[in-house]
């Protein structure tokens, strides 16, 4: 059989040039059909991406997007989605007709990449997040000893985001030679020139100072692009950043390097002019993507977890119990990875790091990067548990917001919640965290009140889906439950009840213990009250709450959290027409350093305040 001749270097570059022209034509056609989009930002990175996917550097089985050895490509500059879709059209995976459905309601080709498009690694578009996700994916390749490389397309505008530099720093620290960032330095942002414009040496200097290997190229020279990818692939001990000087709107003369074209589609007349400039294209031309090595992660056997052991009279901090559970459950969940933001001696996750050092990732004080890495790990099939002080998750709200769209299973543990942490003061007190996690679509919010609850709710979190938040009290509290007690999402436990209950106290965490003290004090005054442990805040036990509202007329919700977005709001939403029965006691005053006892009293959420409130209602 006669073999086809191998393409010469010139013919190979000529084919890439033709593919780039084809991709550019699809970019302008699709955005004009949509009437919106970001053609200029897509055109600047076209040569870089065509050279990567079709130049023999990117390895992936496009028929199996979830193949574990596929290279990863993250469009951190997600507004260049027309380029992403056009690339896969050139690979024969998106039809030209489908491209014209860009941004339409029925289409999976959305304005910014979402998982509905099966070649989207993670949803992007909120700038500054893609590199963190890429770090997570690169770390996963190391953990599983897989040969894939992770590529992240960055825009120069997002290089002012602090989260990018958090990721740059950790990637260098971890010596991630399997990570390549591609920086599209097209000079123009949304409203004008970027911080450094075309001064690529500024990016080169900064990146090199962190320990990366910088490669500066002309981003429209396909031969230089090819050499850069070969150099990056040969690097094994440090991450690489290809810093490419490009022109926004490249290939269309009247928008090329011209300000004011960000996020603007061409008119029909302008489209005709642009297509004439681009010249004839071969719509039958197909770009070939190199297949990945046939390697998959080795199977890891699971082992049954031991049961938690606490005795009557034990006093244990729920944060400690959550950490105990992670160690106890590690062998039953081989995909479990724990991430820390340099507080593991306070969250007690350091004991997991000691026992399973390869499955423990230290991100240092960089919560945004930690959440992004967790998303990258989760997209690769890992079960990440990210732990820090509850207050500091608010810093990563945007990363959490984007994680909800990834469809991944991730667990977040927030310790040091509420004013009950005491003397550390207001900056350390998580008082908004329940509200934050409640707003995330499909999320689960759990709030254990003792050691057994913390252990069981950790088990539940690992076995759940979506984003799960565990709010773990810092202080030592007595054990309330035993090994036979069951917990479930949407459940609660009624710890005090009688036929004569005149009010219901709803609480969780530290305030549940205050509620039990208050119930005993009220009982001595011959006032019977019901006490509900609302350990599942989302989903919530609607049936139990409605029954309590109907039978006792008054619900007093006590929480070590601000009222907006907290437990009281969750209870009111659950009760609907019965919401008027709810009285809220919450941490609504600016807190101060002091003992936990002083602070609970100052906020009006201690046992005495509960007693006074119930008596005034009755």
Nearest alpha-carbon partner for 565 in 473, 436, 467: 436
Nearest alpha-carbon partner for 90 in 30, 35, 134, 8: 30
Would you state the structure tokens that stand for residue 507, as one six-digit string?
């609480």
Catalytically active residues are 367
Would you state the structure tokens that stand for residue 439, as one six-digit string?
């707003």
Would you state the structure tokens that stand for residue 258, as one six-digit string?
């011209």
Rounded-to-integer distance, Cα 569 and Cα 152, Å: 40
- Provide CB contacts within 8 A for 110, sequence distance 6+: 81, 103, 116, 117
Sheet containing 240-245: which strands, arranged edge to edge?
72-75, 150-155, 179-185, 240-245, 213-218
Give the chain's length.
618
Nearest alpha-carbon partner for 586 in 571, 415, 395: 571
Strand bridging mode 315-316 / 477-478: antiparallel
- Provide CB contacts within 8 A for 516, sequence distance 6+: 495, 496, 531
Rounded-to-integer distance, Cα 169 and Cα 210, Å: 6
Longest Cα pair distance anywhere in the chain, in angstroms? Answer: 99
Dihedral over Cα of 278, 283, 285, 286: its sign = positive
Q: Count H helices, E strands: the chain? A: 22, 19
| Distance set, CA 62 to CA 49, 282, 567, 608 (Å) | 16, 22, 46, 64
Rounded-to-integer distance, Cα 439 and Cα 442, Å: 9
As a whole number of Å, the end-to-end CA separation of the chain is: 95
The H-assigned helical ranges of 450-541 are 451-463, 510-524
Residues facing 242 on adjacent strands:
182, 215
| Residue found under tokens 């959550």 | 322
Nearest alpha-carbon partner for 510 in 574, 597, 589: 597
Would you state the structure tokens that stand for residue 71, as one six-digit string?
């290279």
- Provide CB contacts within 8 A for 329, sequence distance 6+: 305, 336, 458, 459, 462
Q: How does 140-166 read in b/e, with b if 16+ C-beta sit within 10 Å?
A: bbebbebebbbbbbbbbbbbebebbbb
The H-assigned helical ranges of 145-239 are 162-173, 200-210, 222-234
Would you state the structure tokens that stand for residue 282, as one six-digit string?
């071969």
Q: Are the beta carbons of 575 and 548 closer than 8 angstroms?
A: no
Give backbone dihedrals phi and psi of 150, rounded to 5 degrees, phi first: -115, 125
Dihedral over Cα of 118, 46, 282, 55: its sign = negative
Rounded-to-integer distance, Cα 271 and Cα 520, Å: 77
Rounded-to-integer distance, Cα 462 and Cα 16, Å: 46
Peptide bond between residue 539 and the one before it cis (omega within 30 degrees of 0): yes
């Amino acid at each position: 059989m006669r073999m086809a001749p191998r393409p010469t270097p010139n013919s190979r570059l000529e084919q890439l040039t033709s593919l780039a022209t084809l991709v550019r034509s699809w970019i302008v056609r699709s955005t004009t059909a949509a009437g919106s989009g970001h053609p200029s930002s897509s055109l600047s990175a076209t040569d870089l991406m065509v050279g990567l996917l079709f130049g023999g550097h990117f390895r992936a089985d496009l028929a199996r997007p979830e193949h574990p050895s596929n290279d990863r490509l993250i469009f951190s500059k997600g507004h260049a989605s027309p380029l992403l879709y056009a690339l896969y059209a050139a690979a024969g995976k998106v039809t030209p007709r489908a491209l014209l459905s860009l941004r339409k309601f029925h289409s999976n080709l959305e304005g910014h990449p979402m998982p509905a498009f099966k070649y989207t690694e993670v949803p992007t578009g909120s700038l500054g997040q893609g590199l963190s996700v890429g770090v997570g994916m690169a770390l996963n390749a190391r953990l599983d000893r897989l040969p894939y490389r992770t590529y992240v397309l960055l825009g120069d505008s997002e290089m002012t985001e602090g989260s990018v530099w958090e990721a740059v720093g950790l990637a260098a620290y971890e010596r991630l030679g399997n990570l390549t960032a591609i920086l599209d330095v097209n000079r123009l942002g949304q409203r004008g020139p970027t911080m450094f414009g075309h001064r690529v040496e500024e990016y080169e200097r900064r990146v090199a100072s962190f320990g990366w290997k910088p490669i500066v190229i002309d981003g429209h020279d396909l031969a230089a692009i090819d050499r850069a990818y070969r150099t990056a692939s040969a690097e094994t001990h440090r991450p690489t950043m290809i810093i490419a000087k490009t022109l926004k709107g490249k290939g269309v003369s009247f928008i090329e390097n011209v300000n004011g074209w960000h996020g603007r589609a061409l008119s029909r007349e302008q489209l005709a002019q642009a297509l004439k400039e681009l010249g004839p294209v071969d719509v039958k031309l197909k770009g070939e993507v190199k297949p990945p090595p046939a390697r998959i992660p080795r199977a890891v056997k699971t082992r049954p977890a031991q049961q938690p052991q606490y005795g009557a009279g034990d006093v244990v901090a729920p944060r400690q119990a959550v950490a105990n559970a992670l160690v106890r459950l590690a062998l039953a969940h081989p995909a479990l990875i724990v991430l820390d933001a340099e507080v593991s001696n306070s969250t007690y996750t350091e004991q997991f790091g000691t026992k399973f050092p390869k499955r423990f990732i230290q991100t240092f004080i960089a919560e945004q990067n930690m959440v992004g890495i967790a998303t990258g790990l989760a997209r690769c099939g890992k079960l990440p548990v990210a732990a820090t002080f509850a207050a500091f998750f608010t810093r990563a709200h945007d990363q959490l917001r984007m994680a909800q769209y990834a469809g991944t299973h991730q667990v977040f543990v927030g310790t040091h919640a509420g004013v009950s942490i005491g003397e550390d003061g207001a900056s350390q007190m998580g008082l908004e965290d329940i509200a934050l996690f409640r707003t995330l679509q499909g999320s689960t919010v759990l709030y254990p009140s003792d050691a057994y609850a913390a252990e069981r709710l950790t088990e539940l979190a690992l076995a759940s889906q979506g984003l799960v938040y565990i709010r773990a009290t810092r202080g030592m509290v007595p054990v309330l439950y035993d090994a036979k007690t069951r917990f479930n999402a949407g459940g609660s436990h009624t710890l005090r009840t009688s036929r004569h209950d005149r009010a219901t106290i709803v609480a969780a965490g530290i305030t549940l213990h205050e509620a039990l003290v208050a119930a005993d004090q009220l009982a001595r005054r011959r006032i019977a009250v019901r006490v509900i442990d609302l350990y599942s805040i989302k989903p919530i036990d609607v049936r139990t709450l409605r029954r309590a509202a109907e039978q006792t007329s008054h619900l007093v919700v006590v929480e070590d959290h601000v009222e907006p977005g907290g437990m009281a709001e969750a209870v009111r939403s659950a009760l609907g027409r019965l919401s008027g029965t709810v009285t809220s006691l919450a941490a609504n005053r600016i807190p101060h350093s002091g003992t936990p006892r002083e602070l609970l009293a100052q906020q009006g959420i201690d046992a005495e305040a509960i007693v006074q409130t119930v008596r005034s209602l009755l």
